[in-house]
Amino acid sequence: MRSSGTCSPIPRRRKNASDAVFKLNGIPITRSSNTVSDVISNVTFNLLQITPAATSLTVNIAADTDTARNNIINFANAYNDIRTFYAKQTKLKDDGTFDDTALLADNQTFRTLVNQITSYVTSVVSGIGGSDPTRLAELGMSFVTLPASTDAPEVSNVLNIDDGQLSAALASNFDGVANVFGFDLTSDNANLIVFSRT
């Protein structure tokens, strides 16, 4: 009987291979690979060649506003898909009864879940201080109602994005925009950590 499969060669360490050694802000760092991604969060250094010991390079790291903008747009589109699906599942006929395609209209779990998601998206983010944004409206995102069409019923609470305002917010206060979507904890006690959160 014959069998088939895949085979990978056994990796061999080069006889003359040595660790990558460099300093970051004066702190010596040694790694076994030329790809280093564990010294600065979300930053990868690719060490391409040996340089003289006295070589000093300045690395400027800028926020990737294009990726952030695209992810925010994808978030809005995903939320709008939920709202559109909800509208179809609660669609009414002219006589006031649910449409034949509204299979989840009487499902309380479905209704509660969608209402909770909408509540989160429309709420003010707590714990943000100073002049940083605390709600989507400050990022150029507003809630509108899409009128009914031949293919879909009216859809309420749909996110609409002012691209100019969103881009300006990302350019002027990238970290502030990130705080609206992410979770952060600052503590004055080193023994306090986040074990779990809702």
pLDDT in tens, 127-170: 887 889 999 999 999 999 999 988 789 999 999 999 999 999 99
Q: Name residues whose C-beta falls within 8 Å of residue 193's C-beta, 6 or more positions apart in sequence.
A: 187
Name the token pair of 99: 């449409």
Q: Tell me the whole-structure pTM to 2 decimals.
A: 0.70
Comparing CA positions, the residue from 86, 63, 80 lying closest to residue 141 is 80
Burial class of 83 by CB neighbour count within 10 A (0 to 12, 13 to 18, 19+): buried
Phi–psi pair at 36, nearest 5 degrees: -115, 115
Q: Which residues lie across from 143 on neighbouring strands?
A: 159
Name the token pair of 31: 């790694």
Compute CA 168 distance to the chain's CA centroid, rounded to the nearest angstrom. 18
User: How far apart are the C-alpha atoms of 72 and 70, rounded to whole Å?
Assistant: 5
Comparing CA positions, the residue from 13, 154, 10 lying closest to residue 90 is 154
Q: For the chain, what is the mean pLDDT? A: 86
Residue with the bigger pLDDT between 80 and 41: it is 80
Mean pLDDT of 5-23: 60
Name the token pair of 47: 């060490």
Q: What is the pLDDT of residues 108-129, one digit of tens each?
A: 999 999 999 999 999 998 888 7
Amino acid found at 192: L
Whether the CB-CB separation of 142 and 115 falls below 8 Å is answered with no
